[in-house]
Amino acid sequence: MANRVGVWIIGGLGNVSLCTILGARAAARGLTGKAAMVTELPEFRSLPLVPVGDLVFGGHEIRHSDVYTEAVQYQKLNGVPSRELVDTLKPDLAKVSQELRDGLLLNCGKPVAALANGRWSKGNKRELSLSEAVRAIQNDLASFVKRNGLRDLVVVNLASCEQPVDLKAMGSLKALEEAIRKNRRELLSASVLYAYAAIDAGHPYVNFTASLGSSVPAIEELALARGVPHMGKDAKTGETLLKTTLAPMFYMRNLNVLSWEGHNILGNRDGMVLDDPENAKLKLADKKGVLESILKNTDRFHTRVRIDYVPSMQDWKTAWNHIHFEGFLGTKMTMQVLWQGCDSMLAAPLVIDLIRFAELAHRTGFAGPMKHLGCFFKNPLGAKQHNMFTQFRRLVKYAARLAAVPAE
């Protein structure tokens, strides 16, 4: 029991969370291979990472349902994983359902608020002051740890992307704490408040989404003060992973990319929320910068990313990338990439990887942004390199260095 590590998911009934929990429990029970987990590559085999079977899940959620019901629904809509697997894991999912608590709605935008579905009249955190909300979150975390006898707890943000807010009130820890104290709800995002609560309580924090989370100066300051590792933001799961792998090819051949257009269609809740232009802003911003930084020669470069909600696609995101480039003697050529991936199935194994790396970092005394995890993010905190290979080499070097040190 003493070896168990908690995972607290903000957005506990979202698709990514469901796939994470299903995958972790399937792996724990030996029902699936370890494909798609980076931590299972030979390069990381000698690291003393927490076994997947030792992870215990709980979380905050704004909708009222349970993990099994949602997993069955997910399976019906998307065809994966097999129905047999979902049914086999029913008891495990039931345990997680018991660890779900009401989530916090704060400046999350209309589409997210709509999901909450009017069931929030009693016991939810909307009516709490910000200070009370922080305390309530911390109580939820503490009782989860105690109830399950956990030796550590990692908090992961998997909630839908928020709308941008002014950053002023988050420019320093002092400003942030003042805003909380004075209950200035209009100045803060839920993701920042969660990050504050988690890190203040000494828990490693990972922001898997494009929301602000721990990326603001106030939280960076707090993490160093509390000696807590954290990382984000916006996991690199599909199209951006492709871009940061493929763009270097054009650079290494000195081919002049004229335009790179990306059209994404998807039909999950994430897609529905991003259909609101305000909620899409942070996400599109994260997606856009990466190419310029790799291609360099971008005088005439044009790029645009579109994310369109197409209900029938459900969680199967399809991306068309059209790359127009100029080669020798001004010859214009074209590459097109069609990516058809199951969005949450691409994301979920990386959530597990990040939990394992964050827990390890905490255990080995690391504090602040885990820059060695840059290869997992579209907008990696403190590590502006986007080239996927350079990022991966950094992670491999980190692992090699750590493996050379005797584990505690």
Residue numbers 221-250 binding a copy of itself by CB under 8 A: 241-242, 245-246, 248-249
Contacts of a copy of itself in 286-305 (CB under 8 A): 300, 302, 304
CA proximity to 208, closest of 156, 132, 273: 156
Tell me how far, at minimum, the Cβ of 30 lies from a copy of itself, in Å: 13
Paired tokens of 299 = 């005088």
Footprint (CB under 8 A) of a copy of itself, residues 104-163 = none
Distance CA 82, CA 87 (A): 9
Q: Which of residues 249-288 bind a copy of itself (CB under 8 A)?
A: 249, 251-256, 258-259, 261, 263, 265
Site for a copy of itself in 310-329 (CB under 8 A): 310-313, 318, 320, 322, 324, 326-329
Q: Nearest approach, Cβ of 210 to a copy of itself (angstroms)? A: 20
CB of 315 to a copy of itself, least distance (A): 10
Sign of CA pseudo-dihedral 44, 58, 207, 1: negative
Residue 260 CB, shortest distance to a copy of itself, in Å, is: 9
Distances (CA, A) of 184 to 112, 161, 193, 211: 20, 21, 12, 19
DSSP letters for 5-17? EEEEEETTTSHHH
CA angle 150, 153, 156 (to 5 degrees): 145
**Residues from 356 through 385 that contact a copy of itself (CB under 8 A):** 375
Contacts (CB under 8 A) with a copy of itself, residues 10-69: 19, 22-23, 26, 32-38, 40-41
Residues 333-352 that bind a copy of itself (CB under 8 A): 333-342, 345-346, 348-349
**Helices vs. strands in the chain: H and E counts, helices first:** 14, 11
Looking at beta carbons only, is 117 or 297 nearer to a copy of itself?
297
- The dihedral built from the CA positions of residue 76, 65, 316 and 357, taken in this order, carries a sign that is negative
Residue 185 or 320: the one with the smaller Cβ distance to a copy of itself is 320
* Residue 306 or 401 having the CB closest to a copy of itself: 306
Query: CB-wise, 194 or 376, nearer to a copy of itself?
Result: 376
Other C-beta atoms closer than 10 Å to the C-beta of 391 total 22
Reduced to 3 states (helix: H, G, I; strand: E, B; else coil), residue 123 is coil
Are the C-beta atoms of residues 344 and 16 closer than 8 Å to each other?
yes
Q: How far is the CB of 408 from a copy of itself (least distance, A)?
A: 26
Residue 73, interface with a copy of itself (CB under 8 A)? no
| Interior/surface letters 126-139, b for 16+ CB within 10 angstroms, e for the rest | beeebeebbebbbe
Least distance to a copy of itself from the beta carbon of 374, Å?
12
**Residues belonging to the chain:** 408
Nearer to a copy of itself (CB atom), residue 196 or residue 260 = 260
CB of 270 to a copy of itself, least distance (A): 17
Contact between 85 and a copy of itself (CB under 8 A)? yes
